[in-house]
Amino acid sequence: MCLDQGDWVAPTQYHLDERDWELSRWSDFHPDPNSRGLAVDYPVNNAESAIAPLMYNAVGGSTIHWGAHFPRFHPSDFKVRSLDGVAADFPYDYAELVPYFDINDRMMGVSGLDGDPFYPTKSPRPMPPLALGPHGETIAKGFDKLGWHWWPADAAIASTAYKEGRRACNYGSSCDLGCMTGAKASTDITYWPPALRAGARLETRARVRELVVGVDGRVQSALYYRDGRLHEQKARLIIVACNGVGTPRLLLNSRSHRFPDGLANGSGLVGKNLMFHPAAFVTGYFEDDLESNHGPVSNSIYSHHFYETDESRGFLRGYQFQVTHDSGPLWTARGGTKGEPLPWGSGHHEVFKQRFNHSINVAVLVEDLPEEHNQVTIDPLLSDSDGIPAPKVTYRVGDNSNKILDHGIRSATEVLEAAGAREVTPNRVPKFGGWHLMGTARTGVDPEHSVVDSWGRAHEVPNLFLVDGSVLVTSGAVNVTSTIQAIALRTADYIKRNRRYL
Amino acid sequence: MNALLTDTQRVLLKQLLDQIIPKEGEMPAAGEIAASHVERAAEMSSVTARVVLDMMAVADAMAGSCYGKPFSDIADSSKEPLLKIIQEQYPRMFGEFVTLAYNGYYTDESVVRLLGPDAGIPQPKGFLVASFNPAIVSNVRKLGQRYRATRGPD
């Protein structure tokens, strides 16, 4: 039985074939739950956070509105402490996750190109890479000119027809507003159909208030609201996947005599070590029409040229360049990734013409190091519409991350200019940049310094497992869904093999 | 339900929108295009209504103060400079008004048609893009293995 606070989103709820399709980006498909304010959303106090956590609450979760950029963590991302003397290591390594990465790539349906020299050899990509078009090819030339690494993105977007009736991407530049064709993987169309066929049950609009612990110290049920009424779902084993903000919120709201500071929180680390990927969007404008809105929003090419530590740069760890597309005319008029609307008045049309379909965005995605002061707590005043206390996020960008951002913005500017940009503008750490929510119930072997063990099982609660971004020890510098899902499959495999003893 | 705006206010709203996005070449001004969107948005949200009504009130007040007549009656050449003063003094309200104008203008069918096929509604047709050319990565392959090995097998 799965309790999901959201509901199914039918493809007809996406507005991509309507005249005012772009307006949904700032209304019912806004990535910030506070701005969106749908009935299934819960508020997040982000007033003391440089970055607002973004999420979507529905069957399929944030994969409904994600960009489906699908890189894996690097091998070094699992051994940051051993290699660089900071943060902590994962208690497992890249090699152990490879079988699960591969299963997941097939389940989600990944398009990509084999042979990226900046990764260990991967299994053949299930589908060929998505087209780059003049937009991707132009920036690729910039990277080549500088002798820097780049590669066509692994994307969880079908480039050909794929399982479950998914059609090939038609390059409509609107992935963040949902995908009407099913080309973009979202778990409501990848994992859920076979799970339901296999007998899984799903209760939607079921908002869990707390997990209840029995006298034996095992979690025995979930109390949840549906249609304003409180229900109880008993279970022998409970798996939580509410993301790096929702999971600590649930655990911290699940207080009891045995766990006065929140469920599984003997270490005091539930909610601590929140990591985002602080980002900068560096946008270049070009003379030529680059068809910048012809393609999946978040997928074109990426570069890991500055991914690994090089201490001569003045910081540890590194960053990814993720080249992204632009979208429709309203997106351009409202300032694109910069978010500053184009000038109004005389001259407006000229600036619009210079920018619409003449832009390339290079996102600098920074590895965030865990810091305990960056955290999710329970807000003393705020609650959702069922009265469940809401989370408060406290976060500031760390010194190391700021140094990486400086370097990344300079390098992104360099590559855009090498590609021929006539104007380059950066947007450093946009508030609405919290796509990746990580670290708030970290994995480890030592119960004093971690919340879950190497299988995602809570150290203190033997039948409680966590399988979302909260279990990550470090953040890597790549989009995290692929790695989160591989870790979740590894946990699922463990549960399946050991279910008699759990 | 009573309409939010009077006929006089509608005229003023169109004149303000015409200044935000003026006519140029074949591209129309925003007045005729976006006014109904702005009015509808104002009717659906009290916050938006406040922005629209405040913007009109401030425009008339400033015009009265500077030129001794309402905004609609001042010379066209004076309107944009006056709005720049309002923008400086009320940046938040003005910014929200500009966004409303853009929302209405760039989701209008006739405007999108004038911007060309690349500006069109993305679905169900999508856009045509030439297939990926594998030869394009030949330089990158020459860089050789660069990921950082860890102690265990990767």
At B153 the pLDDT is 44
Give the mean pLDDT of A187-211. Answer: 98
- In order of A239, A242, A271, A375, the CA distances from A252 in angstroms are 16, 13, 8, 12
Cβ A17–B119 below 8 Å, yes or no?
no
Sign of CA pseudo-dihedral A305, A311, A312, A317:
positive
Q: Which of B19, B111, B119 sits opposite A345 (nearest CB)?
A: B19
Dihedral class, residue A262 (left if φ above 0, else alpha if ψ from -120 to 50, else beta): left
Residue A240 has which token pair?
């939580």
Identify which of A424, A418, A420 has the alpha carbon closest to the alpha carbon of residue A144.
A418
The CATH number linked to A72 is 3.50.50.60
**A355 pLDDT tier (thresholds 50, 70, 90):** very high
Residues 76-95 of A with CB under 8 A from B: 76, 78-79, 82-83, 93-95
Using CB atoms within 10 A of its CB, is residue B135 exposed (0-12), middle (13-18) or buried (19+)?
exposed
Q: Which amino acid does the sequence have at B53? A: L
Taking 90 as the threshold, does the pLDDT of residue B3 lie above it? no
- Please name the residue ranges forming H helices in chain B: 7-20, 30-44, 46-67, 76-89, 91-105, 109-115, 138-141
pLDDT band at B2 (very low <50, low <70, confident <90, very high): low
Packing angle, helices B76-89 and B46-67, rounded to 10: 120
Residue B1 reports pLDDT greater than 70: no
**Domain ranges, ordered by start, for chain B:** 7-117
Residue A492 has pLDDT above 90, yes or no: yes
CB-based contact, A144 to chain B, within 8 Å: yes
Work out the angle at residue A183's Cα, subtended by the Cα atoms of residues A177 and A187, and round it to the nearest 5 degrees.
75
Smallest Cα distance from B114 to chain A, Å:
11
pLDDT tops 80 at residue A102: yes
CB contact under 8 A, A171 and B126: yes
Average pLDDT of span A192-199: 98
pTM of the model: 0.96
Domain containing A381 equals 2-501
Rounded Cα–Cα distance for residues A57 and B152 (Å): 38
pLDDT tens, A10-42?
988 898 999 999 999 999 999 999 999 999 999
pLDDT of B152 > 90? The answer is: no
Report the chain B residue with the minimal C-alpha distance to residue A327.
Answer: B119
Are B126 and A16 in contact (CB < 8 Å)?
A: no
Write down the pLDDT at residue B151.
62
Q: Cβ–Cβ of B154/A75 closer than 8 Å?
A: yes
- A154, two tokens: 């692994």
Contacts of A26 in chain B (CB under 8 A): 103
pLDDT at A15: 87
| DSSP string across A249-272 | HHHHH---SS-TTSTT-TTS-TT-
Q: Is A293 on the interface with B (CB under 8 A)?
A: yes
pLDDT value of position B154? 45
Question: What is the percent of chain A with per-residue pLDDT over 70, rounded to a whole number?
Answer: 100
pLDDT tens, residue by residue, A277-308: 999 999 999 999 999 999 999 999 999 999 99
pLDDT per residue as tens digits for the range B44-97: 999 999 999 999 999 999 999 999 999 999 999 999 999 999 999 999 999 999
Nearest-angstrom CA–CA distance, A360 and A324: 7
Contact yes or no for A82 and B151 at CB 8 A: yes
Pairs of CB atoms within 8 A across A/B? 187
- Verify whether the Cβ–Cβ distance A149 to B119 is below 8 Å: no
Long-range contacts of A346-352 (CB under 8 A, 24+ apart): A346/B22, A346/B24, A346/B80, A348/B20, A348/B21, A348/B22, A348/B24, A349/B21, A349/B24, A349/B25, A349/B27, A350/B24
